[in-house]
Amino acid sequence: MRRIPVIIDTDPGVDDAAAILMALGSPELDVLGITTVAGNVGLSATLTNACRIVGLTGRTDLPVMAGARGPLMRDQVFGKYAAIGAFPVPLLGGPAVVPSSENAVRFIARTARAAAEAGTPLTICAIGPLTNIALALGMHPDVGRGIRRIVCMGGAIATQGHRTPWAEFNIYADPHAAEIVFGSGVPLVLFPLDVTTQALFTEAHVAEFRARGGAAGRALANLLTEYDRSDPERYGRPGGPLHDPMTIAWLLRPELFTGRGARIGVQVGGATSGSTFADFKAPSPRSAVITGVDEAAYVALVLDRIAAHGAGRAAASQKVETE
C-alpha cells in the first residue's frame, strides 16, 4: 500500500484534535508534520494543544511546530473559547511531545520543494486559517509544484456562517490568505459548512469514543463533553458536527462524498469580508466543493480510526504480557 504523504496545518481546536487523532490512526496516511497557526486560540496555545494531542498517540517522532502568529492583513480574531487558551490539562492527560524549533512556514516550503524535486507531491490538510500556507506558497515557485492538492475545511457557500452570518471562521480569520491559496493554481478540495454540518455526533458517539479509543478517545470525549457542540435549533436534531475530520475522511474514503467542480473565491474587504463563493457555472478543473456526505459511513469511519489508538495500545499490552 502506497501511503499518502500529508502535512496537517491546524489551530487546535476540538475539531482539529479529532482530525489529528484520526489521521494518526490511519495507516494509509504518512503524516510528515503538524504545523500550527493562530486561529481558535493564540499561537502558543495552538502549539501546546497540538503537542499534547500528538503526545496521546505516542508519536514522539512526528515534528510539531509553530507558524504565523496572526493574519496577513486583517485585525486578529480568535475562536469563541480563546479566553481559555490551551486545553485544560485534566481534559487531555498524558505527556506532550517536544515542539520542533523549525518554523512551520519554512517546514511546509522545504518539504514541498523536496517533494517537487522527488516527483512525489504531498497533500496539505488545511483545517485552520490559511496564513501558513499562503506564506509558504510565496516563498518559491517549487512550493506549489510540490503540493498535489490542498484539502481545506473552510467557507460557507449556500448556508450561513458560524462566525458571522456570511463567514466560516477559518476563512474569516484570514481572508487575504484564503485569496492567495484559492488563486494559487494548486488543486483545491473545499469542505464548507454546507457539508460538514450534514453529519452530527451525538452523546452516544461521545461515549463510544471514550469506551473504544484508549487515551486518545478518552481525551476527545472529554473535549466534546466540555465544549458541547450540540445545537438542535440550528441542526434540527440532537448532536453536533466535527468539521475538520472530513478532510481526513475524504483522503481515506472519497466515495463517501459528492462534490462539484467550481471556481472558488473569497471576499476580502467590506462588510462581508470572509464570505466565500463557488461559481458552479464556470467550474475549474483544479478546484472542487464537497456538497454531500454519507453521514452514517463518515461517523463510523471517524469512530473506527479513533478506536484504532485504543486497539493498538491494547494489542501492545497483550504482547508484553504474553512474552
Each residue's pLDDT tens digit, 114-135: 999 999 999 999 999 999 999 9
Dihedral sign for Cα 307, 189, 169, 75, please.
positive
- Provide the CA 320 distance to its chain's centre, in angstroms: 34
Overall pTM > 0.75: yes
Give the mean model confidence (pLDDT) for residues 239-267: 97
Better-predicted residue by pLDDT, 112 or 2: 112
Share of the chain above pLDDT 70, in %: 96
The sign of the dihedral angle between the CA atoms of 205, 207, 210, 213 is: negative
SS3 96: coil
Residues noted as catalytic: 243
**Cell of residue 208, nine digits:** 463510544
- Judged by DSSP in three states, 10 sits in strand
pLDDT score recorded for residue 81: 76
Model confidence at 59, in pLDDT bands (50, 70, 90)? Answer: very high
Confidence of residue 4 (pLDDT cuts 50, 70, 90): very high
Band (312; pLDDT cuts 50, 70, 90): low
Provide the greatest CA pair distance for the chain: 66
Consecutive H or E run containing 259: strand 257-261
232 close to 202: Cβ distance less than 8 angstroms: no
